Amino acid sequence: MKKPTIGVLALQGAVREHLAMLERTGARGVALKYPSELHLCSGLIIPGGESTTIGKLMIACGFLEEVRELVGQGMPVYGTCAGLIMLASRLIEGDQPLLGLMDITARRNAYGRQVDSFEADLVLKGIEDPGRPFRAVFIRAPWIEETGPGVEVLGEHGGRVVMARQDGMLVSAFHPELTGDDRIHRYFLRMLEGAEMAERAPGTGG
């Protein structure tokens, strides 16, 4: 069976860790530095980092509109931490470029500064072995303040939404790539498989 190719936006942030996790799951990870490389991939990960910097670099390098178009056409995308912010349609505070694709409102640095980073055990919907807590790493993490009607909440911490899905878009406020637990990346791979099956399915007509 052919390995799926998943691009990791390589402008800034935890790129290498996501690539290693993808290889561990049996997928092929590719560091993306040019928009033309997006068409080689069946899915995209936007990693954690500094969301304002990532947004500005996406504009400067021509990624912003290209990602909007491909995700709008059905390419699955997973945003972690800063990637969550980039996919959000609304921010509580701040003014920065956003993809604006997911019907969520994000609060930047909701858990505090770098020194306030922490780990927590989460119960997450949809992942393999859901009864086993996921040890999540939060670093200057956002949270999701509000979700639209089409958004499925997959995980919470302290009453705040920290993982969610809308159609082919997945976000987490924490960094699964910094753990030894690949269940969220495997969940994303299943999203890709579902998208490919839907694309191959014959139309029903109208």
Active-site entry in 17, 81, 157, 185: 81
Which parts of 39-179 are beta strand (E)? 43-46, 77-80, 88-91, 102-107, 118-122, 134-138, 143-147, 152-157, 160-166, 169-172
Classified as helix, coil or strand, 129 is: coil
Establish whether 196 is a catalytic residue.
Answer: no
Half-sphere exposure of 49 (CA within 13 A, CB side): 25
Establish whether 145 is a catalytic residue.
Answer: no
How far, in Å, are 129, 183, 184, 206 from residue 79 at the CA level?
22, 15, 12, 35
Active-site entry in 18, 41, 157, 177: 177
Q: Please report, in angstroms and rounded to a whole number, the separation of the first and last CA atoms in the chain.
A: 34
Active-site entry in 17, 18, 157, 175: 175
Establish whether 81 is a catalytic residue.
Answer: yes
Nearest CA to 166 out of 65, 89, 82 is that of 89
Residues recognised as catalytic: 81, 175, 177
